Amino acid sequence: MANKRVLVKFSGEALAGEAGHGIDTQILKYIAQEIKSLVDAGIEVGIVIGGGNIIRGVTAAQDGIIKRTSGDYMGMLATVINGVAMQEACEYAGLQVRMQTAIKMEQIAEPYINRKATRHLEKGRVVIFAAGTGNPFFTTDTAATLRAVEIGAEVIIKATKVDGVYDKDPAKYSDAKKLDELTYDQALQDHIKVMDDTSIALAKDNSLPIIVCDMSIQGNLLDILNGNMQNCSIVK
């Protein structure tokens, strides 16, 4: 097992299922089992979840009534809601879990403290990092990369609905070509959507590999960390 500590990033929309909004508990259960397979294999796991199934800051602020900063804080709170749900699902699966938030809310979770998060991981606990970076104008992709770097993760896995990175949208173009491996500079090109530019640049500066994979393939996360890279792409 090459990777002992990883950070897995899920979009908020991934929790919504076919409804497109809210939280589907069966998807929560599925994700928790996928995370459990990693923990059972001796891998230390951190998680970041987006909030798009509830609200996006950019969307909330698009007509000018809600300021962008307030919209982004609303989005951060959405990630906390998702984090609480994910914590419950992981505990239901038999895992020990701690959630840390970038904005203090002690009645719900611990505040983010790097040394404490690292200690939790060392003890085999899953750590969920919620509320983004705690700052507006930064995405949860950037938060995921930041936390991955801070905890010393060896790789960040972005779990999506597609089996990797393509040169164009495979849902729109039948001739879209999968890119099994690409550089950070290639990932920064406008037409290739891996993560936002800030998160990719941060990963590049810290030589943190980014793996993009299909979360719907059961066992895929563990397969990838065991070296089976068939259903993913890697940016490094």
Is 142 within any annotated ligand binding site?
A: no
Is 25 within any annotated ligand binding site?
A: no
Between strands 232-235 and 210-214, the pairing is antiparallel
Is 219 within any annotated ligand binding site?
A: no
* Residues shown for the chain: 236
Is 214 within any annotated ligand binding site?
A: no
CB 219 within 8 A of CB 37: yes
Sheet holding 44-49, edge to edge: 110-111, 97-101, 126-130, 44-49, 5-10, 155-160, 210-214, 232-235, 181-182
Is 227 within any annotated ligand binding site?
A: no
**Nearest Cα to Cα of residue 167 among 200, 189, 138:** 189
Is 40 within any annotated ligand binding site?
A: no
Is 129 within any annotated ligand binding site?
A: no
Q: How far is CA 209 from the centre of its chain?
A: 14
Is 73 within any annotated ligand binding site?
A: no
| DSSP class of 18 | G
Is 12 within any annotated ligand binding site?
A: yes
How far, in Å, CA of 197 to CA of 199, rounded? 6
Is 233 within any annotated ligand binding site?
A: no
**Nearest Cα to Cα of residue 31 among 53, 14, 55:** 14
CB 176 within 8 A of CB 168: yes
Is 52 within any annotated ligand binding site?
A: yes
Is 9 within any annotated ligand binding site?
A: yes
Is 209 within any annotated ligand binding site?
A: no
Number of C-beta neighbours around residue 127 at 10 A: 26
Is 139 within any annotated ligand binding site?
A: yes
Is 51 within any annotated ligand binding site?
A: yes
Annotated binding site for ATP: 9-12, 52, 56, 160, 166, 169
Annotated binding site: 9-12, 51-52, 56, 72, 133-140, 160, 166, 169
Annotated binding site for UMP: 51, 72, 133-140
